[in-house]
Structure 1
Amino acid sequence: MKRLQQLIRYSTFALGLILACSFISERNQAGAVERPWKVRAYIQKHDFLAEALRQETGIPKAIIYAVAGLESDWGRSELAKNANNHFGIKSKPEWRGLEYCKPTQEYNGQQMVTQNDCFRKYPLIRRSYEDFGDFLMQSERYAILKTLEANDYTGWTDAIQNGGYATDPEYAHKLRGIIWRYQLTKLP
């Protein structure tokens, strides 16, 4: 009798697991995009900023979110929380605003080193988004971006890396990985 009860419990569990997997499979086949909660929450919270930036500059939302996600850990990084900087833009000599300085990981060729750097600090997250658009679209280093199609994600990510946006030699590859993994091209 005890063995029969165990068998029934196991069968019920197995059936539930099969049904759950079937449901997930059907949802995925229907085109549903599964993203981690931190990605979904970030997109939902900042979509109006990303859409405004896309309309104003032509930067695809997938690129905006990939850079913001990588640079700010989807809004959870120290820099995002303490400086409203979601794009990791450093303050160079031309910056006349507030700064937030901290240790950062940079690459010297293929070797990662820790150094202290200062980043742009914004009073509002909106300014971070606007400055990202200005940074890419008004710099000669990124002039090629104005010639690329919105769906040329390889072109966009390569141009951002080649323009010197980050020292990471795998930066473009990481951006494309985020775009693909979280299916950012399917965003409305």
Structure 2
Amino acid sequence: MTSRVTFISPAMSSSLRGARFDDGASIDADGEARAHAAAGSLPAAARVVISPSVRCRETATALGLRGAEAAELPGLDVGRWRGLSLAEVGAEEPEAVARWLADPACAPHGGESAEELLARVAQWLDASLETEGRTLAVVEPEVVRAAVTYVLGAPPAAFWRLDVPPLTATTISGRSGRWNLGLGRPLGPAEAVAES
């Protein structure tokens, strides 16, 4: 049995544009238009799951997707830093930011560490190996980063070295306890997401 998961990152929002930790902002008009235009480029799926954030729900809607909220796949909980930019936090708490970026087990913001996110996403992926066919997952960029880190067997510090642009697809396929990575593809009317 082969299981495929295509992770779709949310469309552009004011939070993403301002490099802010998610603050619950909606996707912007351009992001919504791009998602509408990309709707026909998605492969058929046996199931659709959506991170429980405003921008992921709105991206899924704009893509014409209906699915279940994936309670296991919210973005990284950054505690009291939510809604702030990394520059703002760095100006107020430079030592805390330095520790956070250097140590994946560190969570000075009072939320979740990168290691905790990695473990949560890995657990979801392992369970997904039992799902035949394709899953479309509209999720926060850090969930995609965690999945790629896990699939590659990379050390947790690699999580910080991955960038996930808005409205892109990253596909993994797995069977027999092993995942393979198909690198991110832009979503758009002319670029159909190829079957992996």
- What TM-score bracket applies, with the shorter chain setting the length? under 0.3
- The structure showing larger relative contact order (alpha-carbon pairs under 8 Å, at least 6 residues apart) is 2
TM-score (norm. length: structure 2): 0.24
Higher helix share: 1
Task: Say which structure is richer in strand.
Answer: 2
The structure whose Rg is larger is: 1
